[in-house]
Amino acid sequence: MKRVIGVAGDVIDIKEDGTVYVNGTALDEPYVNELAYGESRVFVMGDHRATSVDSRSSVVGCIAEEYVVGRVILRVWPLKEIGTVH
């Protein structure tokens, strides 16, 4: 059995010391014997949401940061929106 820590719309952040924050507030967890950071994971979604197999799928789920190999910095299509991506 696991606890529900957050729901849709919540921001979950686990600090390096293992403290869990939900929407900027540290959880009061007197039932936890030891804190742990765990693995750093990211939630990814494709641009074509109707057909993309991404973190919303249990087949993919959240991915380890080590698999993030780049960052988009320039858009070339559509041509009228060519430029840097923020």
Over the chain, what is the mean pLDDT?
92
Q: What is the DSSP string of 27-86?
A: ---TT-SS------EE----SSTTT--STTSTTT-SEEGGG------EE-SSGGG-EE--
Segment 25-58, tens digit of pLDDT: 999 999 999 989 888 899 999 989 999 999 999 9
**Whole-prediction pTM:** 0.64
Please report, for residues 25, 29, 32, 69, the alpha-carbon distance to residue 72 in angstroms, rounded to integers and kept in the order given. 31, 38, 39, 10
Segment 11-21, tens digit of pLDDT: 999 998 999 99
Residue 1 binned pLDDT confidence (cut-offs 50, 70, 90): confident
Residue type, 75: R
